[in-house]
Amino acid sequence: MLPHLDASYRLAYALTGHKQDAEDLVQDTYLRALSGFARYKHGTNARAWLLTIMRRAFLNTRRRALARPLLTPLETPEGTVDAPDTQTPGPEEQVIRAADRRIVLSALAELPEAYRSALALVDLSGMRYAEAAQILGCPLGTVMSRLHRGRLELARRLRNSLIRPEES
């Protein structure tokens, strides 16, 4: 992958427009490529594989950034005041997120194994449908139907857990 470092940096700079951001993106790309190298098919276009990883990493980062508000300093008569940090979750939000995570994982654990495996591979691990089909040893269409049914069942269980009357 090192022969493609220059091409990687050029694309990263074209995507980000900033030297530091481009360097960070290249580093992130190479880390992702290293962790997913077992999925690379030898003899195929390594440069295309690497630049695809970079493009997806950039798009994911940009999507997350667009979902968060930009913090700018506030102008007051007394001077400039930094805006409060609204991106870092406070203690209350951390507790709520942990509780939500436990509820979702508990509902996921109750699903039939076929649904649970498909959901874990695709939704939790971020694998492609074809990769999940290969791991599960079933056709692509089966993975897709298991994901659809599993997501519906998971949503149903989560709705039921939210409207359950409180226990005394």
pLDDT digits 0-9 by tens, 53-110? 888 888 888 777 776 665 566 666 666 666 556 666 778 877 887 888 788 888 888 8
pLDDT digits 0-9 by tens, 36-56? 877 777 777 777 778 888 888
Q: What is the pTM of this model?
A: 0.46
- Taking a C-beta distance cutoff of 8 angstroms, is the pair 27, 58 a contact? no
pLDDT digits 0-9 by tens, 15-36? 777 888 889 988 988 888 888 8
Convert 100-116 to b/e letters by CB count within 10 Å (16 or more is b). Answer: eeeeeeebbeebeebbb
Domains of the chain, with CATH numbers? Answer: 2-67 (1.10.1740.10), 91-163 (1.10.10.10)
Question: 151 or 42: which carries more pLDDT confidence?
Answer: 151
Q: What is the pLDDT of residue 46?
A: 77
Percent of the chain with pLDDT over 90: 13
